[in-house]
Amino acid sequence: MKKTYPFLVALAGLTIAGSAAAQLRIDISGVGANQIPVAIAGFADEALSQQKISAIVRDDLQRSGLFRIIDAGTMSETMPVNYGEWKGRGTDALAAGSVLRLADGRIDVRYKLFDTVRGSQLSALALAATPQFARVTAHKIADDIFEKLTGTRGAFSTRIAYITKTGGEYRLEIADADGEGVAVALRSSEPIISPAWSPDGTRVAYVSFEHKKPVVYVQDLVSRKRTVVANFKGNNSAPAWSPDGGRLAVALSRDGLTQVYTVNADGTGLQRLTNSDGIDTEPQFSADGQAIYFTSDRSGGPQIYRMSASGGPAQRVTFSGSYNITPRVSPDGKTLAYISRRDGRFQLYSLDLASGQELRLSDTAKDESPSFSPNGKYLMYATESGRRGSLGVVSTDGRVRYKLTTQAGDIREPTWGPFMK
At residue 235, the pLDDT reads 97
Of 129, 150, 171, the one marking the end of a domain is: 150
Please indicate, yes or no, whether residues 169 and 126 belong to a single structural domain of this protein. Answer: no
What digits encode the pLDDT tens for the residues 321-330? 999 999 999 9
Pairing of strands 236-241, 2-3: unpaired
Please indicate, yes or no, whether residues 171 and 138 belong to a single structural domain of this protein. Answer: no
Pairing of strands 36-42, 67-74: parallel
**CATH number for the domain harbouring residue 66:** 3.40.50.10070
Of 98, 120, 150, the one marking the end of a domain is: 150
Q: Is residue 28 part of a domain?
A: no
Please indicate, yes or no, whether residues 98 and 169 belong to a single structural domain of this protein. Answer: no
At residue 24, the pLDDT reads 61
Of 94, 125, 150, the one marking the end of a domain is: 150
Residue 21 has pLDDT above 60, yes or no: no
Report the share of the chain in percent with pLDDT over 90: 85
Q: Is residue 21 part of a domain?
A: no
pLDDT band per the 50, 70, 90 thresholds, residue 17: low
Q: Is residue 15 part of a domain?
A: no
User: In 3D, which of 166, 123, 119 has the Cα closest to residue 3?
Assistant: 123
pLDDT band per the 50, 70, 90 thresholds, residue 409: confident
Please indicate, yes or no, whether residues 211 and 102 belong to a single structural domain of this protein. Answer: no
Please indicate, yes or no, whether residues 113 and 133 belong to a single structural domain of this protein. Answer: yes
- Convert the chain into a string of H (helix), E (strand) and C (coil): CEECCHHHHHHCCCEECCCHHHCEEEEEECCCCCCEEEEEEECECHHHCCCCHHHHHHHHHHHHCCEEEEEEEECCCCCCCCHHHHHHCCCCEEEEEEEEECCCCCEEEEEEEEECCCCEEEEEEEEEECHHHHHHHHHHHHHHHHHHHHCCCCCCCCEEEEEEEECCEEEEEEEECCCCCCEEEEEECCCEEEEEECCCCCEEEEEECCCCCCEEEEEECCCCCEEEEECCCCCEEEEEECCCCCEEEEEECCCCCCEEEEEECCCCCCEECCCCCCCEEEEEECCCCCEEEEEECCCCCCEEEEEECCCCCEEECCCCCCCEEEEEECCCCCEEEEEEEECCEEEEEEEECCCCCEEECCCCCECEEEEECCCCCEEEEEEEECCEEEEEEEECCCCCEEEEEECCCEEEEEEECCCCC
**CATH number for the domain harbouring residue 352:** 2.120.10.30
Q: Is the Cβ–Cβ distance between 221 and 14 less than 8 Å?
A: yes
Please indicate, yes or no, whether residues 71 and 94 belong to a single structural domain of this protein. Answer: yes
CA distances from 60 to 155, 194, 201 (A): 10, 27, 21
* Structural domains of the chain, count: 2
Could you give the CA distance from residue 136 to residue 53 in angstroms, rounded to a whole number? 9
Residue 9 has pLDDT above 50, yes or no: no
At residue 405, the pLDDT reads 79
Residue ranges making up the domain that contains 146: 34-150
What digits encode the pLDDT tens for the residues 27-61? 666 666 689 999 999 999 999 998 899 999 999 99
Q: Is residue 421 part of a domain?
A: no
What digits encode the pLDDT tens for the residues 125-136? 999 999 888 999
Please indicate, yes or no, whether residues 335 and 404 belong to a single structural domain of this protein. Answer: yes
Could you give the CA distance from residue 242 to residue 264 in angstroms, rounded to a whole number? 10
Please indicate, yes or no, whether residues 316 and 383 belong to a single structural domain of this protein. Answer: yes
Please indicate, yes or no, whether residues 254 and 111 belong to a single structural domain of this protein. Answer: no
Could you give the CA distance from residue 166 to residue 408 in angstroms, rounded to a whole number? 7
Sign of CA dihedral 247, 249, 253, 256: positive
pLDDT band per the 50, 70, 90 thresholds, residue 275: very high
- Give the mean pLDDT of the chain: 92
At residue 5, the pLDDT reads 45
Q: Is residue 261 part of a domain?
A: yes
Q: Is residue 168 part of a domain?
A: yes
Residue 19 has pLDDT above 80, yes or no: no
Please indicate, yes or no, whether residues 131 and 232 belong to a single structural domain of this protein. Answer: no
The amino acid present at 140, given as its one-letter code, is K
Q: Is the Cβ–Cβ distance between 152 and 377 less than 8 Å?
A: yes
Could you give the CA distance from residue 326 to residue 340 in angstroms, rounded to a whole number? 9
Q: Is residue 22 part of a domain?
A: no
Please indicate, yes or no, whether residues 69 and 183 belong to a single structural domain of this protein. Answer: no
pLDDT band per the 50, 70, 90 thresholds, residue 151: very high
At residue 313, the pLDDT reads 96
User: In 3D, which of 367, 265, 291, 298 has the Cα closest to residue 326?
Assistant: 367
Please indicate, yes or no, whether residues 141 and 175 belong to a single structural domain of this protein. Answer: no
Residue 4 has pLDDT above 70, yes or no: no
At residue 50, the pLDDT reads 84
Q: Is the Cβ–Cβ distance between 294 and 260 less than 8 Å?
A: yes
Q: Is residue 5 part of a domain?
A: no
